[in-house]
Structure 1
């Protein structure tokens, strides 16, 4: 999940540094256009988090069926747990920021 945010921001930074959109690769342009704002970045992060959680669940199910080794299941579940912890931390920060904004004097 953090890698996705990093790659998106790096791609946008490369376009800005070159200051020439025509020279940017199509993949970078697509990611920059898709995540033009904060909402786009958060949407991409959420999609990656959901994918990681689904992969952990799928690995667990495959392990029950005897298709995947225990090591692979542990890796997938630990990755899903880390992703969930990051998502909860981001949610907490967003709620905290919202509460601070609502307490501001107008």
Structure 2
């Protein structure tokens, strides 16, 4: 299985890469900024939870094939993984859309 957090780090959006990118865009936090939240850490956490949900579905499927899990458990795990994947795709699409809007802005 692919390690999503290392994939995010490889393209520079995971871990502190995203935080550095945000810091370049907005180097100083204003009075309205929320303290204690690191965008890169949140992104990494969401990615790792998504990978965990998919791994759980994979494990439940294998247990179902072996007869160690009920069909209901397998279906619930697979549906949770599907929801996770659909959410990740929706977030990706919104990020791409935002990037395209920013790239069209006049400088």
TM value normalised by structure 2: 0.65
Distance (whole Å) between structure 2 residues aligned to residue 105 and residue 58 of structure 1: 50
Structure 2 unpaired stretches of 5+: 1-34
Give the superposition deviation at 1:38.
1.4
Question: 2:85 aligns to what?
Answer: 84
In the other structure, the counterpart of 1:59 is 60
**Number of matched residues?**
73
* CA–CA distance in structure 1, aligned partners of residues 47 and 63 of structure 2: 24
Q: Which runs of 4+ in 1 moved over 4 A?
A: none
After TM superposition, list the pairs within 5 Å mapping 1:1-106 onto structure 2. 36-106=37-107
- Post-superposition Cα deviations, 1:42-83, rounded to whole Å, max 9, x if no partner, equal 110000000001100110011101110100000000000001
> What root-mean-square deviation, in Å, do the aligned CA atoms of Structure 1 and Structure 2 show?
1.3
Corresponding residue of 1:5: none
Q: Distance in 1 between matches of 2:51 and 2:45?
A: 10
Counterpart in 2 of 1:11? none
Instruction: Kindly indicate which of the two structures has a greater share of residues assigned to helix.
Output: 1
